[in-house]
Amino acid sequence: MHIERYDGDRDALLPLFALADDSPTQIVSYIRVGEVLVACEGGEVIGHAQIVETGDAGTFELKSVAVTQALQGEGVGRALVAAVIRRCRERNGRRLIVSTATADIGNLRFYQRQGFRMCRIVQDAFGPSTGYPEGLLVDGIPLRDQVVFERDLGAD
């Protein structure tokens, strides 16, 4: 597996973006911004990570990250996050943020294992007003609130 910058048509990555986000409305709003890295194996894209500038000097956001379902749990996501951290450091980043649903237990565990710490909760971030279907469940938990994580890019 190798990770590289992706400069192709981002519509080709829509299936991966859809794995990361349940709202087509939200995906359309950010798919074309920032920089995308892809993990490739055997000439196939098997995962992606999107880095977006936040407007705060030295702070970047890991906006979208996903790995094809067949390869989840194999270290591809961890390698993508490590590549994002390196890329943000190259761009003089000091802080990296990422957000996920409070209902997504797997993502909560994943980001903490990558050195991220919870910094705030956004209540009612997911619902019809933001493009998410009513009554959506993640691991049997209603999709409602969002947790924002941060990682100090000076720390290893």
> Which residues are CB-contacts of 47 (< 8 A; sequence separation ≥ 6)?
16, 38, 39, 65, 66, 67, 68, 71, 76, 77, 80
**Amino acid 107: pLDDT:** 95
* pTM given for the model: 0.93
Structural domain range at position 104: 2-152
- Our count of domains for the chain comes to 1
Residue 151 CA to its chain's centroid (Å) = 13
Residue 144 has pLDDT above 80, yes or no: yes
Element at 12 (helix H, strand E) = none
**Amino acid 155: pLDDT:** 66
Q: Which CATH number goes with the domain that contains 70? A: 3.40.630.30
Mean pLDDT (the chain) is 96
Residue identified by tokens 């209540």 is 123
**Amino acid 108: pLDDT:** 96
Residue 75 has pLDDT above 80, yes or no: yes
The pLDDT tens digits of the residues spanning 17-32 come to 999 999 999 999 999 9
Burial of 104 (0-12, 13-18, 19+ CB in 10 A): middle
The pLDDT tens digits of the residues spanning 105-138 come to 999 999 999 999 999 999 999 999 999 999 899 9
